[in-house]
Structure 1
């Protein structure tokens, strides 16, 4: 019964948010509670939810102040020079911009922290997407996919968990998986290329529909972004009354705030202070010497004080970013309800064990490959801790009877990370769509099936290179 309830709950939740019949926050709260009542634990689930809320509170604080801090850095123009550089490299090519997003995300992901990766990527690329009229959903999809592949690096969470759970060396686990990771990254670039082509065709079609004779980016003498020198910027040149609409150029708040070269929040004289503060913050984040929420709290407070010394200005800046803050923090706490219900009712354990039990004995020699496939759905609706410490040891024990080693099972278990990174239970993903102001349903429609393809590509590469046995 718990297995049926668990899968039905997850399926209903996904259908409701992807069809936009409910907002993610409402679905994350009401759908699990309804199934908790059906499972007979409706009353007792309250304490479990509060326990999970307590566990999620540091993450919520991190995301709250991270949004404030990097929102401020966009406001004051810290990333404008970087955007101009990317413009010069990518030009007006949607394909180059989308591929550049994949490359940038992959490089930044080397720090092993998903939240930092998405903050930097969105801060650098979103204004560029808005300039060119590209869909922000493409940005979130490509960033999510690239970060998911890179999440298997040995200093990231999944690889360490898998190694710890099965008592193997992280380097012995990861090093042979490098070709598989590279295959995944190559697949991400291909997906980015196809998405870029799709956006290019969309913009061309929109230009024709709105009667635009020419749609191109041309060099201009004035800086397109604050702080630029002569010839540093670009601008749309169109003929036709609906050029802005065709290019997605209607102001949506973010456009006017992030791209307006005359925005009153610019602080060009403080660019060195803001740059030094940001570098110091990122270094401390990488060193992991202090709690991440605390670091962002201090950085946000300093940024507010120096850039906007008047209390009224500080309040205004926080209010400016309040919609993004409320969206992501509310989803984090709402996700605590889903996690609590899965745990309190025992649905998570029942679902995992059922999936293990239904594997026929004849498939035993193929348990490594089966584990790679199971890692996709299991890490989507389970935490990494739940999968690697609860499910993987069971699978590994069964596989040992067929001569499959623990390290081979550990390697297979990490190929599902691209799918895991798309889960609504991953705070970094929630931060990504909130920063880009993208609807979760729109994001999931494009990213989930692509993440499954990526995981399968990595699994096939691992099998082909012999580091994960087929049988």
Structure 2
């Protein structure tokens, strides 16, 4: 009874989200509550939900304050000198331009927002590409690779994986740091190759003179928020926040680290109380939207686990997995995770599919943290910039004026290659048994 009901719940959830008949927030609440009532759990449903919310509270807190922190730091203009320096340095050599695009996208994506990354990177670099006649697909691909490999603790996939599996973010992220370095090496290597290929195509084999690009225009409102005199303070503060979170993730909750960091950033950059309130209000919408989805996901996972539906489905699925293949589940998922981004949006995969895979793995002796790490190597990380299920993909195509099919065909092998390189690194480093 429980296994079929759980399977039906997940199918209905995926159908509701993928067909866009319900928003993820609504589907993650309505579908499991209805399933629990149909299963005869009655008032116990409330306890399942509360248990799920309790498990998720630290993750939600970290995400909200991370969004607010990076929003305030960006408002203060901390990244402005870095962006301007990159634009001055790349000159007119395609290799430098493509690698500069990758570096710029990597830095902008520190806030975890793919949309912001593309909105800043592509308009800043597009004049150079057009002036030299470079392929705009290269611009779309280099920005996509940088954003895709940059899965940080406060990015959506990492937070979803932690929430769905009830695994601390530090346990997921810290072992993946060297793996991410391998992914970044692949991305910059691919960017260099793309640049060299453009040089040969255009017949540009030597560096040209600097192109005088118009200065990036800031609105009066943006200019009023800039605090150039606090540049080095904000840089050091950000490094301290990130370093503390990585080094002491087991002792200090990441939410507390970002809370304190946000307070310091506000007090130093915007001492006026009204300005502090305005900065929080300016970024509250993005933080609240994701927090709402995460709390709804807590209700979903709480019901699926508390009712026993997840365990029942896993017990049925275990019978179809040969015992000798159990240890290979992380490697297989790591290889498939990026293409799965074309089939599942992040909410339906991380909250609907991943818990079932993790439960199957658990019953075969595979830790949930390994399943989560495997998913993060591609599912809506390297996969999101070409997935038709994410708005960021259409933003890339719109800003570069590249057809979606052309962007996917050109960029898919590069993003899939990055995912495979990171999977291989996990095997080489002993994170995944082969």
TM-score (norm 2): 0.62
Match of 1:373 among 315, 332, 335: 332
Q: Does 1:315 align with 2:277?
A: yes
Cα distance in 2 for residues equivalent to 1:138 and 1:17 = 30
Contact 1:90 1:100 in 2 (8 A): no
Q: Does 1:342 align with 2:304?
A: yes
Offset, 1:79:
0.8
Report matched runs for 1:293-308 at 5 Å.
293-308=255-270
Give the 3 Å change call, closer, same or farther, for CA 4–102 of structure 1 in structure 2. Answer: farther
Q: Does 1:13 align with 2:6?
A: no
1:224-274 deviation digits (Å, cap 9, x = unpaired): 267xxxxxxxxxxxxxxxxxxxxxxxxxxxxx6xxx796211112222322
SS in 1 for 2:40: coil
Match of 1:127 among 120, 124, 129: 120
Q: Does 1:271 align with 2:221?
A: no
SS in 1 for 2:224: coil
Offset, 1:84:
2.1
Match of 2:313 among 320, 329, 351: 351
Offset, 1:126:
5.0
SS in 2 for 1:263: helix
Offset, 1:75:
0.7
Offset, 1:80:
0.7
1:388-439 deviation digits (Å, cap 9, x = unpaired): 6x54353259xxxxxxxx9xx99899644425666xxxxxx9xx99xxxx99
Contact 1:87 1:128 in 2 (8 A): no
SS in 2 for 1:85: helix
Unpaired segments ≥5 residues, structure 2:
127-135, 159-168, 199-209, 341-347, 395-407
Cα distance in 1 for residues equivalent to 2:279 and 2:173 = 39
Contact 1:372 1:413 in 2 (8 A): no
Query: What RMSD, in angstroms, separates the aligned Cα atoms of the two structures?
Result: 5.4
Give the 3 Å change call, closer, same or farther, for CA 285–126 of structure 1 in structure 2. Answer: farther
Offset, 1:324:
0.9
Offset, 1:308:
1.6
Offset, 1:463:
9.0
Contact 2:13 2:27 in 1 (8 A): yes
Give the 3 Å change call, closer, same or farther, for CA 344–188 of structure 1 in structure 2. Answer: farther
Unpaired segments ≥5 residues, structure 1:
106-115, 161-169, 201-216, 227-255, 398-405, 423-428
Q: What does residue 54 of structure 1 align with?
A: 54
1:324-367 deviation digits (Å, cap 9, x = unpaired): 1211211121111111121122122122222211236xxx5544
Report matched runs for 1:88-237 at 5 Å.
88=88, 96=99, 99-100=102-103, 119=112, 127-131=120-124, 143-145=147-149, 147=151, 157-158=171-172, 219-220=212-213, 223-224=215-216
Aligned length: 364
1:141-168 deviation digits (Å, cap 9, x = unpaired): 86345539x99xxx962599xxxxxxxx
Offset, 1:98:
6.4
Cα distance in 2 for residues equivalent to 1:448 and 1:40 = 46
Cα distance in 1 for residues equivalent to 2:428 and 2:61 = 43
Range moving further from structure 2, 45-54 or 275-284: 275-284
SS in 2 for 1:147: coil
Q: Does 1:286 align with 2:278?
A: no
Offset, 1:55:
2.2
SS in 2 for 1:302: helix
Q: What does residue 82 of structure 2 align with?
A: 82
